[in-house]
A = this chain, B = another copy of it.
Amino acid sequence: MSEFKLQVSRRQRSTPYTPRVEALGVSGYSVVNHTILPKGFQRTVEEDYWHLKTHVQLWDVGCQRQVELRGADAARLTQLMTPRDLRNAEIGQCLYAPMIDENGGMLNDPIILKLAEDHYWFSIADADMLLWAKGLATGMALDVRVDEPDVWPLAVQGPRSDDLVARVFGEQVRDIRFFRFERYPFQGHDLVVARSGFSRQGGFEIYVDDFALGTYVWDALWQAGDGLELAPGCPNLIERIEAGLLSYGNEMTRENNPFECGLQRFCQLDGKLEYIGKAALLEIAGKGHDREIRGLLFDGDACPAPQYPWPVTIDSKQVGYVTSAHWSPRFNQNVALAMLDRGYWDESTAISVRSGDGLQRNGVVTALPMEEQ
C-alpha cells in the first residue's frame, strides 16, 4: 500500500481516542468523513489479520460520523433516502441500507440505527450524507432536524469481544442479537452498544455520546483486557476483502448502482414504497445490470494496493477492474475485490490482473465472502 505523510490539522479531525492510539504507536491514518482513521500499529497487516481472527481488538472508528434525523418527518425522510424497506423496522435495530440518488447511483451504505419512531442515526461511510439529508429536508420543507451529534463510535472486534465488553458493560451484553443495540449506563451516560462492526469476526460498536467521555470508555475497555491479548486495531484490509465487506469510494461510487454492488436484497422494488431513485432502479432491474462485484484470487508476490483501479483481463480484453487488493497469508495468494462485466463474473472464471507494479498475474473469480480453498 502506498504510504506518504499525512498532514493533520483541525480540518482533518482528531477523535476522542486519538491521544490513546498515538500513545500506542499508531503508524498511519486514512481520512474518512473529515476525520482520521488509524491504519496500523506496530504489526504488519498480515500479523494484524491473524490477531483479529484469534483475539480481540479496540478500534478508533470515530470517523463513522452519525447523521441524526429527528422530528415528525424523520421516518419519512429516512425511507426516502434508501431502497431498503423500513416499514417493519424496530426500535433497537441496526439496518444496513444502501442510499442512492435519483439515477440509482450509490451515495453511501450506512448502518441506520432506529432510536425512536422519530429519531434515527445513520452511521455513515465516507461522504457528507448530512448535506444530502439537509438538502432534501430543506428542499421539501420537511419537519425534521438534521445534525451531526457529538457521537464517536468505538469498536470492539474479534472472537473474544463478548468477554471484553461484558467485563465493562455487564454479562447481559452477550444477549444482544446481531445488528441490534441496547443501552447501558456508563458514568451517567446511557450508551448505545450495538452488535455490529466492520469485520466478520464478531464484536460491538459503542456509540460514545460525548467527546469528553471518550478516553474514559477507551481506558475502561483497555484496562479490562487482562488475559485476552487485547490490542489496538483497525479495519483489516485482508479480512475485509475475504469477508466481502465493501468500502464506499473503493468498491463503489456514484457511478455504481446497488445491483452492481450485490445489494439486491436491500432494494424493495415491489409495491407502493416511495424512495428516491426507485424509477431508476426499476429500469435497471428491467434491463439487467452490466457488472457486479466479485472476489478474485491471483498469483504472484504480494503487490501494492491499488491507487487506481487495476484492469482485469481475459485474453487481453478488459472485463473489469480491481478496487481493493492485498496479499492473504491464509490463501497464500493475493485476494481482491473487483467489479466484473456481465458474462465474466461466474465463479472459477480464469482472469488476469495487471497490478500497479506492471506485472500480469493469473487468477480466478470467487464468490463472496471467500471460502477456504
Residues on the B chain within 8 Å of A138, using CB: 101-102, 135-136, 139, 276
- State whether A14 touches B307 (Cβ < 8 A): yes
A250 to B30 alpha-carbon distance, docked (Å): 18
A30 to B2 alpha-carbon distance, docked (Å): 14
A267 to B139 alpha-carbon distance, docked (Å): 21
Residues on the B chain within 8 Å of A127, using CB: 34, 128, 131
Knowing A138-B139, A276-B138, say if A9 contacts B307 (CB, 8 Å). yes
Partner of A5, one of B5, B18, B31, B276: B5
- State whether A14 touches B308 (Cβ < 8 A): yes
Question: A291: shortest Cβ distance to chain B, in Å?
Answer: 16
A2 to B180 alpha-carbon distance, docked (Å): 38
Contact of A323 with B by CB under 8 A: yes
Contact of A324 with B by CB under 8 A: yes
Residues on the B chain within 8 Å of A10, using CB: 249-250, 306-309, 323-324
Contact of A344 with B by CB under 8 A: no
Question: A102: shortest Cβ distance to chain B, in Å?
Answer: 6
- State whether B126 touches A135 (Cβ < 8 A): no
Contact of A137 with B by CB under 8 A: yes
Question: A250: shortest Cβ distance to chain B, in Å?
Answer: 5
Encode A293-324 as 1/0 by CB contact (under 8 A) with B.
00000000000011111000000000000011
Within 8 A of B (CB), among A92-149: 101-102, 107, 126-129, 131-140
A306 to B139 alpha-carbon distance, docked (Å): 37
Residues on the B chain within 8 Å of A248, using CB: 11
Question: A302: shortest Cβ distance to chain B, in Å?
Answer: 16
Encode A2-36 as 1/0 by CB contact (under 8 A) with B.
11111111111010001000000011111100101
Interface centre among A1, A102, A128, A305, by most B CB within 10 Å? A128
Interface centre among A9, A27, A29, A34, by most B CB within 10 Å? A9
Knowing A128-B127, A134-B135, A135-B138, say if A6 contacts B9 (CB, 8 Å). no
- State whether B31 touches A31 (Cβ < 8 A): yes
A250 to B11 alpha-carbon distance, docked (Å): 5
Question: A178: shortest Cβ distance to chain B, in Å?
Answer: 27
Contact of A268 with B by CB under 8 A: no
- State whether B34 touches A6 (Cβ < 8 A): no
Contact of A264 with B by CB under 8 A: no
Contact of A39 with B by CB under 8 A: yes
A129 to B132 alpha-carbon distance, docked (Å): 9
Question: A156: shortest Cβ distance to chain B, in Å?
Answer: 22
Encode A221-253 as 1/0 by CB contact (under 8 A) with B.
000000000000000000000000001111000
Partner of A107, one of B1, B28, B131, B305: B131
Question: A76: shortest Cβ distance to chain B, in Å?
Answer: 12
Smallest CB-CB separation from A1: which chain B residue? B7
Residues on the B chain within 8 Å of A18, using CB: 307
Residues on the B chain within 8 Å of A305, using CB: 7-9
| Closest A-B pairs by Cβ, 5 of them | A135-B135, A139-B139, A5-B28, A11-B249, A6-B6
* 9 chain-A/chain-B pairs, Cβ below 8 angstroms: A4-B28, A5-B27, A6-B6, A6-B28, A7-B305, A9-B250, A11-B249, A11-B250, A14-B307
Given contacts A10-B249, A134-B135, 7 further A-B contacts (CB under 8 A): A3-B6, A3-B7, A5-B29, A7-B28, A9-B249, A127-B128, A131-B131
